[in-house]
Amino acid sequence: MRTGRYASPPIGHRAFCRSFPGECEVHGSRSPMQLTPSRWQDLVRVNNYVNDTVEAVTDQEYYGQEEVWTLPQGYGDCEDYVLLKRKQLVARGWPTSDLLVAVVFDEVGAGHAVLVVRTDRGDYVLDNKVSDIRLWSETGYRYVKRQDIADPKKWVAIDDSRWQPLDATGRVR
């Protein structure tokens, strides 16, 4: 996954870091994790556990407002799933530089958040929409931005060259 210039963090992420400052600190090394069978099982277990125990609900339905990023207590939307998965993987010894919240456009063009997991075998995605863990390039999503490797409070634009920009008529520019 190629990244470029710094990007503005999602407003919900800024508020999350103010409410949970420990979740936005750097932990561990900056080199990609070696993906051993044990580490793969970490990903599978955490992804399945969070997907099975958090009930999907929009922020508007649950909190009566848009874009509340938090650690879910049984209910949450996409970024809440991501934040809980990230927290649980950090507790299992994964460095924050390998657990990056990303903003994407999903299969229908809606905004969505996923957890990108950097490894020596590529960048994998943990997603609340599917139980399969796939390489980022195999998700069908358009990647917009993600957390910076060096600082979880900073975000970088993703150069997702698989997608070409369209003009107002829907034609490739």
List per-block mean pLDDT (blocks of 10 residues) for the chain, which spans 173 residues: 87 94 88 94 98 95 93 95 97 95 91 96 96 94 94 90 59 52
pLDDT of res. 154: 95
Give the global pTM: 0.90
The C-alpha atoms of residue 9 and residue 44 are separated, in whole angstroms, by 28
pLDDT at residue 62, as a whole number? 93
Q: Give 55's strand partners.
A: 75
Residue 170: its pLDDT value, please? 55
* Pairing mode of beta strands 111-119, 122-126: antiparallel
CA–CA dist 143, 161 (Å, integer)? 10
* Listed residue (115, 113, 137) closest to 126, CA to CA: 115
Residue type, 26: V
Output the six-digit token pair for 110: 């809606």
User: Within 10 Å of residue 119's Cβ, how many Cβ atoms?
Assistant: 18
